A and B are shown apart, each in its own frame.
Chain A
Amino acid sequence: MKIIVDTELCEAHGDCVLAAPEVFDLDDDENVVALLDPSPDESLRVKVEEAARMCPVSAIRVEG
């Protein structure tokens, strides 16, 4: 599983951080998402897909 975030789209809503804190965080300036783990373990799939669905600007893509 590979995660791609479009940081141009991201508005730092943080819904992904709440859904999958193992994978997403906000960067130090709190203005954009920080991808902690671009290819997380399969066990996190449900959470990651939830994060993608929750994002208000559809900035997260899950591949594979």
Chain B
Amino acid sequence: MIVGGGLAGHRAAKALADDGFGGKITLVGDEPHYPYDRPPLSKKRLSGEIDDDACAYALDGLDEVEWRLGVAAKRLDLERRRVVLVDGAEIEYDGLVIATGRAARRWPNLPAIEGFHTLRSLDDCHALAAAATPGKRVVIVGGGFIGCEVAATLRGLGVDQVTIVELADQVLGPVGSEAGVRAAAVHRGNGVDVRSGVSVAGFDGQDRVEAVRLSDGEALAAEVVLLALGSVPNSEWLADCGLELAAGAVLCDEYCFAVGADDVVAAGDIAAWPLSDKHGVVSIEHWTNARDMGPTAARNLVAPPADRKPYTSVPTFWSDQYDLKIKSCGFVKGADRLTIVDEDPEKNALVVEAHRGDTLVGAITINRNRALLGYRRKLEEELSS
């Protein structure tokens, strides 16, 4: 049984089906949609360049799967091996894949007025696309990847007044200031008002949001506010079930098994696991991780213990904004030194190496796709050696 119909859940089901798994597969997902791809939601789907169908994952080979869509799992009973759904149904399992991913972080005590958006699901994307039309003033709270991607996409759609408010001194914190400074410059060059180093004090408006108040006293008029504040694990349904959570994520061993259970695995954004002695426990919110971890987790779940394979993966990430292809791999956060090794201002290209001590731990590139592949290879070899 698989709970969560995102990328990790879909790939888990696909891996079992491809392997000729003879048992029954049930997939429970709280969204009404069959599994679909999230990265386009801030890019090509939001811009309208592609439609919903183009975001949907292929279902070939999954005819035997029983889909329970539009209904959330409410509780996990480890002892009785049952998942209780919100509609009261109980599903018994022999093995469980937890793949419930993450949700957009909410603003605490958000006033109950209209005009606020978050972006995690297809429905969110439709709502944002319908609201953020040319002529509207849009304030994006949070200058992370999703915030910056949406700003770029909206500018492309002809939305003139787009402001990003970022608490830190620099947007795109996870890729370091070298890439962040350049990305901010491109956003400004494209007419986005980038405010960094300032926080949001509150929101004004009666029935609809009218302004975003900043900590420096300024009020930014806005009809549409996107709260792009990062994400939180979808693990409320696992509270007190006996599984160990690490910052809300399901703590696993290196075989993707949830600590404290021998018939439960977790994969994708919801999982935390010990990557290596050097890196410790990690939780990775990248597409490639859900792609790779879903199949490994599902295969380990049904394999005899001796055939289980440890899960290792070099985190890799991409983000498209305007004509910038920003990519990173490895553990940039753990670096103590970022060095620019190549730059071509004409092409907006940049290569940054991330070192901890003498060791290369990651890299960030802008418009240098080939260079990133070299770093990925290097880091992968190191991790598997």
Is B58's CB under 8 angstroms from A58's CB?
Answer: yes
Is A54's CB under 8 angstroms from B291's CB?
Answer: yes
Interface residues on chain B, size class: 10 to 19
Tell me which residues from 286 to 327 in chain B have a Cβ below 8 Å from any Cβ of chain A. 287-288, 291, 318, 320, 325
How would residues 2 to 29 of chain A score, 1 for a CB under 8 Å from any chain B CB and 0 otherwise?
0000000001111101100000001000
Is A26's CB under 8 angstroms from B58's CB?
Answer: no
Is B377's CB under 8 angstroms from A14's CB?
Answer: no
B373 interface contact, C-beta 8 A: yes
Instruction: Pick the contact of A30: B287, B320, B368 (CB < 8 A).
Output: B368
Closest to B365 in A: A30
A14 and B369 alpha carbons, distance in the complex (Å)? 8
Is A17's CB under 8 angstroms from B373's CB?
Answer: yes
Is A18's CB under 8 angstroms from B373's CB?
Answer: yes
B39 interface contact, C-beta 8 A: yes
Tell me which residues from 271 to 298 in chain B have a Cβ below 8 Å from any Cβ of chain A. 287-288, 291
B80 interface contact, C-beta 8 A: no
B363 interface contact, C-beta 8 A: no
Instruction: Pick the contact of B369: A31, A54, A56 (CB < 8 A).
Output: A31
Closest to A12 in B: B369
A26 and B373 alpha carbons, distance in the complex (Å)? 10
Tell me which residues from 330 to 380 in chain B have a Cβ below 8 Å from any Cβ of chain A. 367-370, 372-373, 376-377, 380
Is B287's CB under 8 angstroms from A14's CB?
Answer: no
Tell me which residues from 174 to 227 in chain B have a Cβ below 8 Å from any Cβ of chain A. none
* Also in contact, A18 and B377, with CB within 8 A (given A12-B325, A31-B369, A58-B58): yes
Is B58's CB under 8 angstroms from A56's CB?
Answer: no
A26 and B367 alpha carbons, distance in the complex (Å)? 13
* Also in contact, A14 and B373, with CB within 8 A (given A30-B368, A56-B39, A58-B58): yes
Interface centre among B287, B367, B370 (most CB of A within 10 A): B370
Interface residues on chain A, size class: 10 to 19
Please give the distance in Å from A11's CB to the nearest CB on chain B.
7
A26 and B372 alpha carbons, distance in the complex (Å)? 12
How would residues 23 to 64 of chain A score, 1 for a CB under 8 Å from any chain B CB and 0 otherwise?
000100011000000000000000000000010101000000
Is B288's CB under 8 angstroms from A15's CB?
Answer: yes
Tell me which residues from 224 to 257 in chain B have a Cβ below 8 Å from any Cβ of chain A. none
Closest to B7 in A: A56
Is B376's CB under 8 angstroms from A18's CB?
Answer: yes
Is A30's CB under 8 angstroms from B369's CB?
Answer: yes
Please give the distance in Å from B19's CB to the nearest CB on chain A.
13
A12 and B373 alpha carbons, distance in the complex (Å)? 10
Is B370's CB under 8 angstroms from A14's CB?
Answer: yes
Instruction: Pick the contact of A11: B320, B370, B372 (CB < 8 A).
Output: B320
Is A30's CB under 8 angstroms from B370's CB?
Answer: yes
Instruction: Pick the contact of A56: B287, B367, B372, B380 (CB < 8 A).
Output: B287
Which residues of chain A have C-beta atoms less than 8 A from B367's C-beta? 30
Which residues of chain A have C-beta atoms less than 8 A from B325's C-beta? 11-12
Closest to B323 in A: A31
Is B369's CB under 8 angstroms from A26's CB?
Answer: yes
Which residues of chain A have C-beta atoms less than 8 A from B376's C-beta? 14, 18
Which residues of chain A have C-beta atoms less than 8 A from B369's C-beta? 12-14, 26, 30-31
A17 and B374 alpha carbons, distance in the complex (Å)? 10
Sample 29 A-B pairs with CB under 8 A, ordered by A number. Answer: A11-B318, A11-B320, A11-B325, A12-B325, A13-B318, A13-B369, A14-B369, A14-B370, A14-B373, A14-B376, A15-B288, A17-B373, A18-B373, A18-B376, A18-B377, A18-B380, A26-B370, A26-B373, A30-B367, A30-B368, A30-B370, A31-B369, A54-B291, A56-B39, A56-B287, A56-B288, A56-B291, A56-B318, A58-B58
A14-B369, A15-B288, A30-B368 are known contacts; what are 11 more A-B pairs with Cβ within 8 Å?
A12-B325, A13-B369, A14-B370, A14-B376, A17-B373, A18-B377, A26-B369, A30-B369, A31-B369, A56-B288, A56-B318
Query: What are the 8 A-B residue pairs with the smallest beta carbon separation, nearest first?
Result: A30-B369, A14-B373, A12-B369, A30-B370, A26-B370, A26-B369, A17-B373, A14-B369
